Structures are given as C-alpha cells and as structure tokens.
Amino acid sequence: MSIIDFHNHFYPPEYLEAIQSGPSNVVVTRDAEGNPLVHYPGDYNILVPGHRDIAFRAAVLDRAGVTRQVLSFTTPGTHVESPDRAVELARMVNDAFAGIVRERGSQFAALATLPMNAPDACLAELERAAGDLGFRGAMLFSNINGVALSDPRFWPLYRYANETNAVLYIHPSFPVGVEAMTDYWLTPLLGFPFDTTLAAAKLVFSGVVDRYPGIQWILCHLGGTIPYLAERLDRGYYAFRECRENINRPPSEYLKRFYYDTVNFDAGALRLALDFAGADHLLAGSDYPHQIGSLQRMVTSIERLEIPEEAKTRILGGNAARLLGLGDE
C-alpha cells in the first residue's frame, strides 16, 4: 500500500543561502547545534536537517515506510519580501523542487510556491510551474501580508487554476491579530488553524469557490476548525443577508468539496472530518519535519480509525495520487 504524505515542508538550500547573502526581510540565526532559525512575526522555524537536506529526508522516509512526499514550501513564504525579490525567490524554490522531482520522482512530488504579493507575476509563475515544471498546483498562504485570499486581485490566478483544474493548497501564515499570540507558541498552535478557517470562510462567502468550481481546494491541519464550525457558518447563511449575497447554497455544501489533510492526530477530530467531508476528501499528512509533526502518528492515527481498509488506503495515499496524477492509486 502506498503512503503519500501530503503535508510536509522543505527549504531548498539555494533559498536559505539567498536570504542570508542577499536582500531579505527574513532574519536567520543559528541554534547551539548549528541549525538555521528562520524568524517571522510571532514564530520561528528551527530548520533541522530534514528541512534542508533531501538525501537525509529520503533516508528518513525509507525507514518510516512512507512511499512519497508532496513537497511544499512554508512560512514565512516569499510574499514577505519586496515584489521583485519575491518573484526571484519563488522561481528559485520552484526550480529547486523541480530538480528534486526529476532526480527523485519515485519519492517526491511538489507543489509550487508563488509570489502572491505580486499578483501578475504570481499568475505567470503558476503558468510556468504548471507548464515547464509539471506541477499540478501550488500552495497558497492563508493571508498575504494581511490581504485575504478572497481579494479580487487574486481572481486572475483563480481563473487560470479553474481552467486547469489545479490544486490550491492553503497553508496558514502568521495570522491576522498575531500580536495577541506571541507567547506560549500560540501562533502555530491556535493562530494557524484560526487563520486557515478565516481564509476558507471568506473564499466561500465571497463567491470565489462558487465562481471557480474547477479548483481543487485543500486545507491544512484538518481544515483548522471548519468541520467543527461549518454548521455555524450555515446558520449565518440563513440568518444574514450579507452571507447570501455571493452564494446560493449553504457554506457547508461548498466546504464538503474541499480536501483536508490529517495533520490533527486526534481520533475524535479525524472522525468528525470523516463525517463532514468523507474518506475521499482526506489526505494523509505529517507536518514533517516540524517539531509538532510526526510521520509515525500520521500513519497510526489513520490506521486506528474504525473504517473499512479500502477507505484507509484512499486516505493514506490513493486520494493524493488521484489528485496529483501520481499513478499510485
């Protein structure tokens, strides 16, 4: 049985060198073990070898029995830079990902990263990533320097993604209101799932999801709080005229078409997501190699679900293979 880890992150060495040697708004320090620390508002990432050494990572996957990972970039993203620098760094990351897929395609696929603070260049980069590099989609951050993903400036990007049935994978960035979450690691623990929830709700209520039905939307971290709060969004649809201006169905009907990765290893939460979206719309994810990620718990949390084995097979790899055309269904 193929196991495909849809939620994990990699920083190409070329990118790390570039933000340390050239202009960047990202601060990089080192810990006592020599690992780079990448700082951004309210949080920082400790880049252990699995974040930046693809050979090390490949060996870890072999030992863990994980067939393949879908590589994606992560916070702070390129959109925190000036627009020109964001374009340059996004191209660098995508070229590096494409090189890994060419050399190690049996173990890795990839999603593009985009310079979302430069919308015209962002569209051009998705077209290049899809055409020249063969990516099936991109990872988007939940807000772009405070601008919602539902903003009309991004609609040309969605128009192209809709025409190509692209995958758009929403990962949280430092959340709106981050200043209230700077202690106790609350930015990644609570702020991230809240910001994902906010992004998904705005995409639905704004009519973006309805307008572009060909996009394959995916939410990180089991959708933030979407499976838990979808009924409340539906109540808003019936109660408030503003919630019906751009859509003609309750929000849950759109949100059940989304895909959700399983980076919430709690059995009750996974069952709730299963009841909400179905086994065909869950994707195994580990959040490797972040401190709160786990390849082992990714697998065991799914294997322990009281569902048919065929459904577990789809969640562990079949759904991802179908979405990305990986031939591992």
Per residue in 254-300, pLDDT tens?
Answer: 999 999 999 999 999 999 999 999 999 999 999 999 999 999 999 99
Percent above pLDDT 70 for the chain: 99
Asked if pLDDT for residue 328 goes beyond 70, the answer is no
- Tokens describing residue 1: 């049985």
Helix 226-239 vs helix 267-277: angle between axes, to the nearest 10 degrees? 40
Separation CA 43–CA 296 (nearest Å): 25
Q: What is the pLDDT of residue 40?
A: 77
Average pLDDT over residues 161-169: 98
* Average predicted confidence (pLDDT) for the chain: 96
Q: What is the pLDDT of residue 43?
A: 78
Q: What is the pLDDT of residue 134?
A: 97
Query: For 3-32, b where at least 16 C-beta lie within 10 A, e where not — what string?
Result: bbbbbbbbbbeebbebbeeeebebeeeeee
Asked if pLDDT for residue 195 goes beyond 90, the answer is yes
Domains of the chain (ranges, CATH numbers): 4-324 (3.20.20.140)
Average pLDDT over residues 144-173: 97
Query: For 178-201, b where at least 16 C-beta lie within 10 A, e where not — what string?
Result: beebeeeebbbebbbbbbbbbbbb
Per residue in 40-94, pLDDT tens?
Answer: 776 789 999 999 999 999 999 999 999 999 999 999 999 999 999 999 999 999 9
Average pLDDT over residues 144-171: 98
Q: What is the pLDDT of residue 1?
A: 81
Q: What is the pLDDT of residue 175?
A: 87
Asked if pLDDT for residue 31 goes beyond 90, the answer is yes
Average pLDDT over residues 2-6: 97
